[in-house]
């Protein structure tokens, strides 16, 4: 938990495929204007606004949408250290503390100095082929090396800090942050990690005659995933997959930037949020 935070130059960005997000963003902008704060609003894909965020023109980004919107905001904001205030207009909202009917209340708390900044670890992934760098990305949730359109398992070897860990025959391998432990890694059977940790979680997807347990690496460790198949792809935070070739490497380590979130109350909000979502899901199960 870090020092209290009161923004002076916020920007509001809405998920463009969610029509109600723009109406909420406009209402938020008007509400802040009544409080004497100018907060421009627009699409999360508005390149003019994105350039201003990258240049550090704003000291907070309010993301109106769902968890996917917050992921995209994280990729945008992390390099320039801009904190994110998420307002959940979607379904799940693991990453978001404030729902659509609560933002006025939380805006008042924000302006009264009742918020704090939470830093969450990101991953850095580097794609290498025959010694040549083909791309690198930062991830807030996870890096996935998995099977592509051909429906057969991939063969992967995982090396940790230069030492071989194990080989997998599986639908894929997830390298996850603690934040991502409640996303794809959770669906694949991995453990839930507290968000303040800086460990990497490795979880196989549908392993066949391979190690079927998740592994939590010590803080500061790095992993190299070597492809031993011709049908593998890499996807970062659910973005469109990129084809990999046999003997390609994907190196994953902690990124040198973090995603910052505006939070309220004590750090126990994470477990309350998690419990609420799990109870919500359990209500839909047959008894």
Catalytic residues: 67
| Separation of first and last alpha carbons in the chain | 40
Inter-residue contact 249 to 225 (CB < 8 Å): yes
DSSP assignment of 190-243? PPP--TT----EEEEES-SSS--S-EEPPTT--EEEEE-SSSEEEEETTPPPEE
**Cα–Cα distance between 61 and 53 in angstroms, integer?**
8
Tokens of 260: 């910052």
Cβ neighbourhood burial of 130 (10 Å; 0-12, 13-18, 19+): exposed
* DSSP codes joined into one string, 71-121: HHHHHHHGGGT--EEEEE-SS--TT--EETTTHHHHHHHHHTT-EEEEEEE
| Residue closest to 50 by CA, chosen among 261, 33, 42, 24 | 42
Of 146, 155, 157, the closest CA to residue 229 belongs to 155
Cα separation of 237 and 32, whole Å? 32
Residues 139, 239: contact at Cβ < 8 Å? no
């Amino acid at each position: 938990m870090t020092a209290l935070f009161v923004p002076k130059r916020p920007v509001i960005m809405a998920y463009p495929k969610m029509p109600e997000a723009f109406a909420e963003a406009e209402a938020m902008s008007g509400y802040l204007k009544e409080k004497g704060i100018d907060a421009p609003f627009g699409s999360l894909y508005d390149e003019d606004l994105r350039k201003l965020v990258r240049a550090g023109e704003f000291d907070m980004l309010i993301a109106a949408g769902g968890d996917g919107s917050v992921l995209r905001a994280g990729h945008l904001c992390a390099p320039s250290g801009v904190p994110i205030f998420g307002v959940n207009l979607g379904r799940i909202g693991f990453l978001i503390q404030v729902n659509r009917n609560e933002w006025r209340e939380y805006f008042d708390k924000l302006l009264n100095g009742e918020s704090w900044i939470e830093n969450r670890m990101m991953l850095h992934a580097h794609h290498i082929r025959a010694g040549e760098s083909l791309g690198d990305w930062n991830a807030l949730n996870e890096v996935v090396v998995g099977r592509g359109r051909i429906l057969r398992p991939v063969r992967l070897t995982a090396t940790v800090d230069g030492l071989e860990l194990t080989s997998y025959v599986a639908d894929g391998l997830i390298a996850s942050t603690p934040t991502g432990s409640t996303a794809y890694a959770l669906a694949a059977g991995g453990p839930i990690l507290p968000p303040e940790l800086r460990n990497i979680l490795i979880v196989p997807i549908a392993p066949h005659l391979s190690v079927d347990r998740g592994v939590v690496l010590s803080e500061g460790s790095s992993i190299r995933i070597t492809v031993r198949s011709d049908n593998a792809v890499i996807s970062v935070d659910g973005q469109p997959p990129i084809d990999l070739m046999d003997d390609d490497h994907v190196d994953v380590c902690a990124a040198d930037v973090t995603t910052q979130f505006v939070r309220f109350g004590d750090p126990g909000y994470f477990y309350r949020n998690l419990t609420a979502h799990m109870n919500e899901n359990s209500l839909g199960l047959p008894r």
